[in-house]
């Protein structure tokens, strides 16, 4: 992108790896993910279920079950070393610098408190303002996420709101302390198609308004194109291809990305047979030593037995495939 | 997709407002509305209220002295002049003794549950939230208590401690701690893994805040309802202990004890002898149905 180099990146992740240690097997969910994210940039992590995208997102805030998850690598958010943080410092970071929205707006709110109470609670917790001030802020937030008659919604319980409304409220909650980074974990997946696009537009608008950086996780190529500046395609716990959205769409270089794009329904494809990627995602307890996609890849060759290095096709377009050179 | 890209915000607001025009009624209003439609719960609630009320105000309602015996009136029939519900084997007014007996029976039935709720609830919350070894330690300890049938356990502990109201309450409390702990633990484990707990953590809440605000509030409802359903069992067990001579001691009026002392008179005057049992039955049934009704009415997700 053309962002000035002087800006300090909001996120700097280096070689982040996450594994879940179980009694019978160790699941290597994320295997060395590195990226940086500039202020105001929207990165979309695209991948199938089980490719490690949600885990990557949670790893950034160290929101993983500490007993079973092993996290390594370096993570910096807003210049702060997340890996070295105490629980207390982490709790301060979450919600202030980083906000998060979830896939299921149905269960992301506590059913026994009103929506307003949950938003004001967060504001009071982080900024120590009075209840009254927090309430005014919450009202303003609901207004900004375009919730009609916000006064009434503040007193509503989560189950009294519709799915789209609840996701809007969730966004309001995540934005309550003006974070510089918003993590969105498939926020539109559980919604109707018509509501999906509204939420996407809203997120895009708010992102510009607040100047936030956003990491958006999805399995939906259409959603990614709609919202992203940059796309990272994830497979087997690695970024297999990253680049500006335009370049990835026009010139995908990794066979997996190509397959993903080919298997997406376009309006022009009526009558044409959709191409599907054969096979199923890899078993994360036993990843192949080389390229994780090789077993499903049409172009697999003996050289795929060794882990493919990251190849920079252009300053911003990276791909991990030996065929790309 | 491309044409509708810029729904302007006013248009949007109108659409949304039309979609969700439901007026929020507030939690308690909803609960009250549900209870109003449920006749069984209302009747049971009234019966419970009546029993509690009559026990508390026994000295205002009762016609006679619960300890005043009369050789002449022994085992008087129901409806005998001056003895609306007859008299017991010592010639004491049954109605008065049933009213006073309610005090002890309810006290011995409810207080073990309250204490067990405090102790078992805390244990279950800690076990469920911390998980791992702590969970194992607490839950296996509870399993030890589970190995005994509850009646037997209550009798054994009371027997070891000796007769008396205090000891009976201690033993009943010990009987009810394990089931309450178990229920609290399972609900806590469930709640802990829900998204809103993670959402709370993601917005910067510490463990203590999460337990206090999100876990407790969601666990308390089901556990509280469960505890009320145990009250009926507890009343029966408490009466049972007194019946066996391990709870209250004569001449104290208590339903279980009265049932025991009237036992020999069952062939002489069966109706009077059965009265304490009838009281126990109605009390425990009403508590049970009431807690059932409340469970249904208080569930926000229904």
Predicted complex: ipTM over 0.85? no
CB B41 within 8 A of CB B289: yes
Q: Classify residue B108: in a domain, yes or no.
A: yes
The minimal CB distance from B204 to the residues A95, A149, A162 is found for A95
Q: Give the 3-state secondary structure of residue A75.
A: strand
The verdict on A274 touching B (C-beta cutoff 8 Å) is no
Tell me the CATH number at B225.
1.10.3720.10
Site from B204, B206, B207, B223 to mutate, A interface, most A CB atoms within 10 angstroms: B204
A148/B24 Cβ within 8 A: no
List residues bridging with A11 in a β-sheet. Answer: A37, A77
Taking CB atoms and an 8 Å cutoff, what residues of chain B touch A92?
204
Q: Classify residue A206: in a domain, yes or no.
A: yes
Region of poorest pLDDT, from B144-148, B150-154, B245-249: B245-249
Asked whether residue B105 carries a pLDDT value surpassing 70, the answer given is yes
Q: Classify residue B206: in a domain, yes or no.
A: yes
The fraction of chain A above a pLDDT of 90, given in percent, is: 10
Number of folded domains in chain B?
A: 1
Q: Where are the beta strands (DSSP E) in chain A?
A: 11-21, 26-37, 42-46, 69-77, 80-81, 98-101, 181-185, 213-218, 230-235, 238-244, 311-314, 317-319
- pLDDT tens profile A9-28: 888 998 899 988 887 788 88
- Please name the residues between 170 and 199 in chain A that touch chain B, using a CB distance below 8 Å: 170, 173-174, 176, 183, 197-198
Q: What is the DSSP string of chain B?
A: --GGGG--HHHHHHHHHHH--PPP--HHHHHHHHHHT-HHHHHHHHHHHHHHHHHHTHHHH-SS-TT---STTTTPPTTBTTBTT-B-TT--BHHHHHHHHHHHHHHHHHHHHHHHHHHHHHHHHHHHHH-HHHHHHHHHHHHHHHTS-HHHHHHHHHHHH-SSHHHHHHHHHHHHHHHHHHHHHHHHHHHHTSHHHHHHHHTT--HHHIIIIIIHHHHHHHHHHHHHHHHHHHHHHHHHHHHTTSSS-TTS--HHHHHHHTGGGGTT-HHHHHHHHHHHHHHHHHHHHHHHHHHHHH-TT-
B199/A173 Cβ within 8 A: yes
Q: Classify residue B24: in a domain, yes or no.
A: no
State whether the Cα torsion A7-A8-A11-A15 is positive or negative.
Answer: positive
Q: Classify residue B28: in a domain, yes or no.
A: no
Chain A: residue nearest B219 by CA?
A112
| Range(s) of the domain holding residue A197 | 11-97+179-266+274-324
| Range(s) of the domain holding residue B223 | 46-298
- pLDDT tens profile A78-96: 888 888 888 888 888 888 8
Strands A42-46 and A98-101: unpaired
Q: Classify residue B260: in a domain, yes or no.
A: yes
- pLDDT tens profile B25-65: 566 777 788 888 888 889 988 998 998 888 888 778 777 77
Distance from CA of A222 to the nearest CA of B (A): 10
Asked whether residue B275 carries a pLDDT value surpassing 50, the answer given is yes
Mean pLDDT across A92-116:
84
Structure tokens at A296: 């499903």
CB A100 within 8 A of CB B199: yes
CB A172 within 8 A of CB A150: no
The minimal CB distance from B13 to the residues A148, A164, A174 is found for A148
A108/B195 Cβ within 8 A: yes
- pLDDT tens profile A29-51: 888 899 999 988 999 999 888 88
CB within 8 Å of A268: residues ≥ 6 apart: none
Mean pLDDT across A104-108:
77
Q: Classify residue A92: in a domain, yes or no.
A: yes
Q: Classify residue A239: in a domain, yes or no.
A: yes
Q: Classify residue B18: in a domain, yes or no.
A: no
Structure tokens at B195: 């998204």
Asked whether residue A97 carries a pLDDT value surpassing 70, the answer given is yes
pLDDT of residue A270: 63
Number of folded domains in chain A?
A: 1
Confidence of residue B20 (pLDDT cuts 50, 70, 90): very low
The verdict on A121 touching B (C-beta cutoff 8 Å) is yes
Q: Classify residue B159: in a domain, yes or no.
A: yes
The verdict on A111 touching B (C-beta cutoff 8 Å) is yes
Asked whether residue A269 carries a pLDDT value surpassing 70, the answer given is no
Q: Give the 3-state secondary structure of residue A188.
A: coil
Tell me the CATH number at A69.
3.40.50.300
Q: Classify residue B106: in a domain, yes or no.
A: yes
Taking CB atoms and an 8 Å cutoff, what residues of chain A touch B203?
94-95, 99-100, 122, 125, 173-174, 176
Asked whether residue B169 carries a pLDDT value surpassing 50, the answer given is yes
Confidence of residue B3 (pLDDT cuts 50, 70, 90): very low
Taking CB atoms and an 8 Å cutoff, what residues of chain B touch A63?
198, 201-202
Q: Classify residue A258: in a domain, yes or no.
A: yes
């Amino acid at each position: 992108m053309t962002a000035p180099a002087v800006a300090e990146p909001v996120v700097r992740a280096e070689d982040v790896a996450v594994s879940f240690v179980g009694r019978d097997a160790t699941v290597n969910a994320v295997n060395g993910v590195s990226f940086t994210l500039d202020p105001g940039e929207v990165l979309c992590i695209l991948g199938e279920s089980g490719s490690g995208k949600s885990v990557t997102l949670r790893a950034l805030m160290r929101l993983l079950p500490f007993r079973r998850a092993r996290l390594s690598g370096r993570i910096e958010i807003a210049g702060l070393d997340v890996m070295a943080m105490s629980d207390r410092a982490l709790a301060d970071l979450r919600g202030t610098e980083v906000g998060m929205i979830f896939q299921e707006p149905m269960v992301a709110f506590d059913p026994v408190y009103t929506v307003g109470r949950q938003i004001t609670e967060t504001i009071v917790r982080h900024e120590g303002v009075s209840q009254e001030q927090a309430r005014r802020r919450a009202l303003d937030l609901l207004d900004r996420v375009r919730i009609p008659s916000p006064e009434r919604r503040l007193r509503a319980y989560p189950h009294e709101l519709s799915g789209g409304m609840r996701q809007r409220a969730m966004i309001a909650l995540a934005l309550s302390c003006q974070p510089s980074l918003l993590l969105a974990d498939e926020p539109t997946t559980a919604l109707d198609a018509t509501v999906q696009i509204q939420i996407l537009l809203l997120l895009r608008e708010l992102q510009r308004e607040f100047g936030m950086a956003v990491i958006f996780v999805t399995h939906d190529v259409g959603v990614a194109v709609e919202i992203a500046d940059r796309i990272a395609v994830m497979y087997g716990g690695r970024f297999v291809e990253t680049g500006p959205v335009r370049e990835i769409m026009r010139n995908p270089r990794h066979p997996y990305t190509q397959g993903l794009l080919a298997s997406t329904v376009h309006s022009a494809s009526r009558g044409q047979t959709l191409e599907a990627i054969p096979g199923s995602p890899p078993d994360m307890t036993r990843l192949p030593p080389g390229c994780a996609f090789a077993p499903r890849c049409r172009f697999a060759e003996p050289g795929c037995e060794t882990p493919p290095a990251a190849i920079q096709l252009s300053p911003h377009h990276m791909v991990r495939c030996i065929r790309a050179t | 997709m491309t044409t509708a890209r810029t729904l302007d915000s006013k248009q949007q607001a109108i659409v949304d407002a039309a979609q969700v025009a439901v007026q929020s009624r507030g939690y308690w209003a909803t609960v009250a509305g549900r209870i109003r439609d449920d006749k069984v719960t209302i009747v049971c609630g009234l019966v419970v209220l009546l029993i509690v009320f009559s026990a508390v105000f026994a000295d205002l309602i009762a016609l006679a002295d619960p300890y005043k015996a009369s050789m002449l009136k022994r085992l008087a029939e129901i409806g005998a002049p001056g003895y609306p519900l007859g008299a017991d084997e010592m010639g004491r007014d049954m109605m008065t003794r049933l009213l006073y007996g309610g005090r002890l029976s309810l006290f011995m039935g409810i207080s073990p549950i309250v204490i067990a709720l405090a102790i078992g609830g805390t244990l279950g919350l800690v076990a469920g939230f911390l998980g791992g070894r702590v969970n194992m330690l607490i839950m296996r300890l509870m399993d030890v208590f589970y190995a005994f049938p509850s009646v037997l356990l209550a009798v054994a502990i009371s027997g070891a401690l000796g007769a008396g109201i205090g000891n009976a309450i201690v033993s009943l409390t010990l009987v009810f701690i394990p089931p309450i702990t178990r229920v609290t633990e399972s609900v806590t484990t469930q709640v802990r893994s829900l998204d809103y707990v993670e959402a709370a953590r993601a917005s910067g809440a510490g463990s203590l805040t999460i337990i206090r605000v999100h876990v407790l509030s969601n666990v308390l409802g089901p556990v509280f309802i469960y505890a009320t359903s145990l009250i009926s069992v507890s009343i029966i067990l408490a009466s049972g202990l007194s019946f066996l001579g391990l709870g209250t001691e004569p001449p104290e009026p208590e339903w279980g004890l009265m049932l025991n002392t009237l036992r020999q008179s069952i062939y002489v005057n069966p109706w009077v002898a059965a009265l304490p049992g009838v009281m126990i039955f109605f009390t425990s049934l009403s508590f049970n149905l009431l807690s059932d009704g409340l469970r249904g009415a208080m569930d926000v997700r229904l």
